[in-house]
Amino acid sequence: MKYLSAICIFAAICLGGNVAVRAQGDSDPGFSTIGAMRSMPDLMIADDEFEVQRMHIGVGNTFTKGDQDTKIYIPALEIRVPWQDYGYFDLQLPYYVAVGDIASVSGIGDLSFAYTHEIRPEYFPDWSYQITGGFKIGMGTADLQDTKTRSLPMVYQSNSGTTDFIIGGHIKYKQYFVVSAAYQQPFVYYNENGYNRLALENDFVYNNPAYPMARKLRRYGDVMVRAEGILTGKRAGVSAGPLAFYHLHDDMYTDRQNREIQINGSAGFTLNAFASAFVRMGRKAEWKLDVTASAPLIQRDAIPDGLRRDWVVTPRITYFFGQRTLLW
């Protein structure tokens, strides 16, 4: 199994070798970065001492580029609180900044909240399992406007205009290999995006067909699968592997006559190659610096929810409370 982790890392390097370093993930609605679905989950800090057993607070900043070369910056606060012996809560609150050819806007992103329960079978001590359930709560109606009070495309919107439920989990072998899967589904819709590039009063920049139609977008659910090989010590480690998403149904938008129009090609498969690395700092390893990156290899034909990503890199610094073991 240890060799399988090395194979995953080597395969990710080979798959991503023809593109620049990028991050998870193209078409990701949010569930690959929380709970059991995170990259390198449940890492060991010292003998019988795991990250999930320590409360920690992290600050990260995602750098990426979306539709029509829109530059996107997403600083985020992340808090994890352990619960009893085998559970923990995650809270993530991002702030979204988009700078593009038709506007520069910012706003509070969607809040994510989840609980994860861990199972460590007594008779199979090399294996562990985690199950996550939670929500991603849209913090607005996805209707930010430009200086001419025109509704902006979804890539400029700081929130999705939906509330989604998330359920997923992972299976992990020692500290070498993990497979995770999850399902995310909107169940409350309040997207009031008004972007309509076909309106006659618009200019050529605003009408750019690179921005998908998304007026009152109705977004459907997604599933994800990740296979991750991990090579790690107490002070540093790396991981890599494939990260796949499948959008289950073509999305819909509402035209000016209030007809729901199907967005052909918005259902489908997306494949990313990803990699992560971390280093611990401090005598008790109370500080952790990590970077997560990936490259989209296969993309859906249409991504109207603003989640198309050309490249993404996410560095993050985390502080762990209550560290007891001296590592040097």
pLDDT one-digit tens code per residue, 65-117: 999 999 999 999 999 999 988 899 999 999 999 999 999 999 999 999 999 99
Question: Is 127 among the domain residues?
Answer: yes
Domain range for 49: 2-320
Backbone phi, then psi, for 269, in 5-degree steps? -105, 140
| Residue-level pLDDT at 124 | 86
Domain CATH code at residue 251: 2.40.160.40
Question: Is 328 among the domain residues?
Answer: no
What is the chain's mean pLDDT, rounded? 89
29-78 pLDDT tens trace: 999 999 999 999 888 887 778 888 899 999 999 999 999 999 999 999 99
Q: Is the pLDDT at 18 greater than 60, yes or no?
A: no
Question: Is 119 among the domain residues?
Answer: yes
Pair type for strands 260-262 and 252-254: antiparallel
Backbone phi, then psi, for 112, in 5-degree steps? -115, 135
**pTM recorded for the entire structure:** 0.90
| Residue-level pLDDT at 17 | 40
Please tell me the distance from the alpha carbon of residue 273 to that of residue 242, in angstroms, as a whole number: 5
- Domains contained in the chain, number: 1
Backbone phi, then psi, for 37, in 5-degree steps? -90, -5
Please tell me the distance from the alpha carbon of residue 143 to that of residue 159, in angstroms, as a whole number: 9
Question: Is 202 among the domain residues?
Answer: yes
| Residue-level pLDDT at 150 | 86
Average pLDDT on 190-206 reads 82
3-class DSSP state of 165: strand
Q: Is the pLDDT at 313 greater than 50, yes or no?
A: yes
Question: Is 327 among the domain residues?
Answer: no
DSSP 5: H
Instruction: Please measure the distance between the N-terminal and C-terminal CA atoms of the chain and give it in whole angstroms.
Output: 30
Question: Is 161 among the domain residues?
Answer: yes
Nearest-Å Rg of the Cα atoms of the chain is 20
149-197 pLDDT tens trace: 889 999 999 999 999 999 999 999 988 999 999 999 999 999 999 998 7
229-268 pLDDT tens trace: 999 988 999 999 999 999 999 999 999 889 999 999 999 9
| Residue-level pLDDT at 272 | 95
Question: Is 289 among the domain residues?
Answer: yes
Question: Is 325 among the domain residues?
Answer: no
DSSP 68: G
Q: Contact at 8 Å (CB) between 112 and 102? A: no
